[in-house]
Chains A and B, each alone.
Chain A
């Protein structure tokens, strides 16, 4: 019997949990009935309708968003018909009398030109059609007319003109916000573009110098290095997609290290430890190479003896853990904090803070770089890369055999 009960519990518990969770999600405070005076009630209603009309408009003025908000706006104004237009066409018509579309577009030329509101009489052959007057209120963003809100009513009314003007101004604010959203997205995109793929000019210069030094003594080696250089630059200059796979990034690091080693020879040793499970992980393009470059720089800076760099990629459940460690000069933690906060620019390039910022942008603030360092104690950089993140897909590449 106890077995029966236990089994029943095992079966019922998940269902109960699911039911509880569904209940929590669907239960929303709905009633406003007992709240305040009729005037306050009406205010709430109006604000509620307005708040419902806002979200679609935040995506900009298109046929789809206009269609969804026009219905709400008509309720808000209480007119028989309402339409939203852009410069050329009627985007959405809510209510009766859609046959006036063409006529309204003809008469809109003036208001769209001047940006001033207007009311005009509609000519209609249909006796049953209630629309006799149209009130036009232009929608302006940054003082440029984007379209118009047209409210149609049976008679001319100063109240309607005023109300339509106010609603149009409110819609304009929403459209301005949409514009702001768009420019913010563009800004982020531009930032990512600016952040990505900056191989340091020093590296190009040094590599070419090293290759030049081999051209006479060891032409074969020089040729190999040139090919490495070509591969690396092709990778870092490629333009499609913002993401790559860990395997590709490691190959780029390989090319990079080959060039660095040609320059420093035996002074630099590298250990690589990779769990093959994490190689397909998608990650922002060129976000580990700068860390390795940083390790090389710190490892060899002000030292004459050997420097060691280790690169590990571990499988950690739903994440990949990439650790890059060097035994170099390290850095004062306070200075590092200021560099990451963008307060001071480090001597060579924008490596660490750039990578940190990109990781935070893509994976959220709890996936920034974790750096352990002290003066003279080397540096250990840990990056946690989720195996799956919505929107992160490595750009297509040919299967490599």
Chain B
């Protein structure tokens, strides 16, 4: 990669984000545009903002990387990330807006009138937020490392500093405009290079063997091994090696490797010739890198796929940074329209990463070997086109990737900091919001340095699993079931979300489970979501006396259109009083 283009591009994105955030307010000086200035955010603008905030490093880099490594099975990721909004649209969007809640803890309080459940929901918001921030920081580190040879931790620290500085200084004064801007930036940054890449692919004769197993090298390729790894060969393979292979040193000699496992020391260079199949790297336990979850998936492919589908379908509604954006819609109908628009925008965006993944399988298959598959999107322009044009396209992609980290990280940081300030730290005030911001970012930053790299899309999947097992039951039952009680909600969140959290912690720590246990821990949603629902319902049924007093009126307000609600709620309340 050519740094002289990419670094200015990243800097430009950072500066543009800060500027739009600080000055993007609507200002009016005459009465005539007073109406314009005080007009609420329309569904399309709000949808772009939600999409901008939602499309994270996992979407921008991770999906292409997973498709590159594992092939078309991974298309479930973009499907799941999008379909989550369908569930949100059908069951949650409008009632959530009508509840008047700004955050998920607000919703818990509005529905159940219990401070304890509110604080518990706050704890889970913080947990999910931290889990989601972690891969953003790792992705930023990876991007900068690929672009500039900076150390792995540098990108994460850079994003953390920029986000904390802008959020804590109150710089995100017009977050809707910032996030909408980021969406269009991200779409452009993937769409324009993708057009050129597809043209280049056409020029190369449009090879169609992208998803052949195994992937093969299209040309002679030198691969530098940065981390010691074991190669699994199913067939004998001849390579030219420089460095240590199976304990022997080679200096540019031809080696015939028989089928089986071969130990490659770090620093070795292997030259593969055209048409060689790409060998599979077996990283074993060294750092729990990208193969850890993948191995589980190979052992339990069907289970893992369903786990993923459930987590992404049901987890979207509990993402703290997405929920707060719905507050911007003026009423329930607008919230629903916004969600429909989000489905369109996100659906359009998710057509692109698989293209990169497929092209990556064709043109950069060795990335799966050196465990750097998430960088495929960044490296492809250089690999396929070359020259100044490729450098410019690469810079555009790099800028888009940084927009992804910045937008998601700032949204999450604001959501987590808000909950920390309101429900965890003692008194209120601006100072505490700053303290909350620092705290919100410090923990995932420390964790991203401590806990090794999971593939970003997988790590985000874990955050979805926790969200799906704790907030999905709370929201769905809270909106649609009148017998929900505070103890039931608390128990359901604790047991469903807590068990998912433990499973996720064990997975991220590289817990060396084997076989089915590992798969159960790596994809907890399939058992933890039903567990959360069942616990919540059973405990609620066991404590019928604790159904909050105004439930009928609250549910009426959730479900009736605003212009009817006033009168109807009064009717419901008086009916209840008569009944009592």
Q: Which residues of A contact B (CB under 8 A)?
A: 2-8, 10-12, 14-15, 17-18, 21, 25, 62-64, 240-241, 245, 247, 250-251, 254, 257-258, 261, 269-277, 279-280, 282, 314-318, 366, 387-388, 390, 392-393, 395-400
Contacts and interface: CB of A to CB of B under 8 A. Distances in A.
B74 interface: no
B120 interface: yes
A361 to B, nearest CB: 18
Given A18-B498, A316-B433, 19 more contacts: A3-B509, A11-B509, A14-B498, A247-B330, A271-B29, A273-B37, A274-B37, A275-B174, A280-B330, A282-B100, A317-B417, A317-B421, A318-B102, A388-B109, A390-B109, A396-B563, A396-B565, A396-B567, A399-B563
Instruction: Please indicate which of the listed interface residues A6, A251, A272, A398 has the most CB atoms of chain B within 10 Å of its own CB.
Output: A272
B113 interface: yes
A279 B41 contact: yes
B509 A274 contact: no
A271 B447 contact: no
A253 B187 CA distance: 40
A257 B31 contact: yes
A79 B49 CA distance: 68
Interface string B98-120: 00111100100110010010011
Contacts of A274: 25-26, 37-38
A390 B112 CA distance: 11
A12 B175 CA distance: 34
29 contacts: A4-B509, A6-B509, A7-B506, A11-B502, A14-B498, A14-B501, A17-B123, A18-B123, A21-B119, A241-B566, A250-B34, A272-B37, A273-B26, A275-B173, A277-B174, A277-B327, A280-B40, A315-B173, A316-B433, A318-B102, A318-B418, A366-B428, A390-B109, A392-B100, A393-B100, A393-B557, A396-B567, A399-B330, A399-B562
A369 B486 CA distance: 35
A14 B567 CA distance: 43
Contacts of A399: 330-331, 333-334, 562-563
Contacts of A3: 287-288, 450-452, 509-510
A318 B172 CA distance: 13
Interface string B506-547: 111111000000000000000000000000000000000000
| 6 nearest A-B residue pairs (beta carbon) | A11-B505, A7-B509, A387-B102, A388-B106, A4-B509, A250-B38
Contacts of A14: 123, 126-127, 498, 501
Instruction: Find the residue from A251, A282, A318 having the highest chain B CB count within 10 A.
Output: A318
A62 B287 CA distance: 67
B27 interface: yes
A279 B34 CA distance: 13
B570 to A, nearest CB: 9
B517 to A, nearest CB: 15
Contacts of A254: 31, 34-35, 38
B203 interface: no
Contact of A12 (B41, B102, B505, B511): B505
A398 to B, nearest CB: 5
Nearest to A316: B170
A258 B31 CA distance: 7
A245 B331 CA distance: 11
Nearest to A243: B100
Contacts of B27: 271-273
Contacts of B327: 277, 280, 387
Contact of A2 (B116, B418, B450, B563): B450
B302 interface: no
Contacts of A388: 100-103, 106, 109-110
Contacts of B305: none
Interface in B10-42: 25-29, 31, 34-35, 37-41
Interface of B: 25-29, 31, 34-35, 37-41, 100-103, 106, 109-110, 113, 116, 119-120, 123, 126-127, 130, 170, 172-176, 287-288, 327-331, 333-334, 414, 417-418, 421-422, 428, 430, 433, 447, 450-452, 494, 498, 501-502, 504-511, 557, 561-567, 580
A8 B506 contact: yes
B566 A395 contact: yes
Contacts of A390: 109-110, 113
Contacts of A8: 505-506, 509
B564 A18 contact: no
A356 to B, nearest CB: 18
Contacts of B447: 6, 10
Contact of B414 (A241, A258, A280, A317): A317
Given A8-B506, A11-B506, A276 B331 contact: no
B492 to A, nearest CB: 13
Contacts, number: 184
Choose among B172, B173, B288, B502 the residue with the greatest number of A CB atoms under 10 Å from its CB.
B173
Contacts of A270: 29, 31
Interface centre among A63, A251, A396 (most CB of B within 10 A): A396
Contacts of B329: 280
A315 B103 contact: no
B116 A25 contact: yes
B505 A277 contact: no
Nearest to B176: A277
A255 to B, nearest CB: 10
Contacts of B174: 275-277, 315
B174 to A, nearest CB: 5
A241 B567 CA distance: 10
A4 B563 CA distance: 54
A67 B286 CA distance: 67
B40 A5 contact: no
Contacts of B333: 399
Nearest to B447: A10
B422 A10 contact: no
Contacts of A12: 502, 505
B562 A7 contact: no
Contacts of B116: 25
A4 B288 CA distance: 10
A277 B177 CA distance: 10
Contacts of B109: 388, 390
B53 to A, nearest CB: 12
B580 A62 contact: yes
B283 to A, nearest CB: 14
B408 to A, nearest CB: 18
B505 A276 contact: no
Contacts of B41: 276-277, 279
Contacts of A63: 580
B509 A5 contact: yes
A315 B25 CA distance: 10
A77 B69 CA distance: 78
B184 to A, nearest CB: 18
A6 B451 contact: yes
A359 to B, nearest CB: 15
Which residue of A62, A241, A366, A393 has the most chain B CB atoms within 10 A of its CB atom?
A393
Nearest to A11: B505
Given A316-B170, A317-B417, A387-B102, A11 B26 contact: no
A254 B331 CA distance: 22
A192 to B, nearest CB: 17
B450 A279 contact: no
Contact of B25 (A258, A273, A316, A395): A273
B566 A240 contact: yes
Nearest to A15: B498
B39 A276 contact: yes
B328 A4 contact: no
B566 A11 contact: no
A392 B26 CA distance: 27
Contact of A397 (B102, B119, B509, B563): B563
A317 B120 CA distance: 20
A398 B563 contact: yes
B8 to A, nearest CB: 30
Contact of A280 (B103, B172, B328, B507): B328
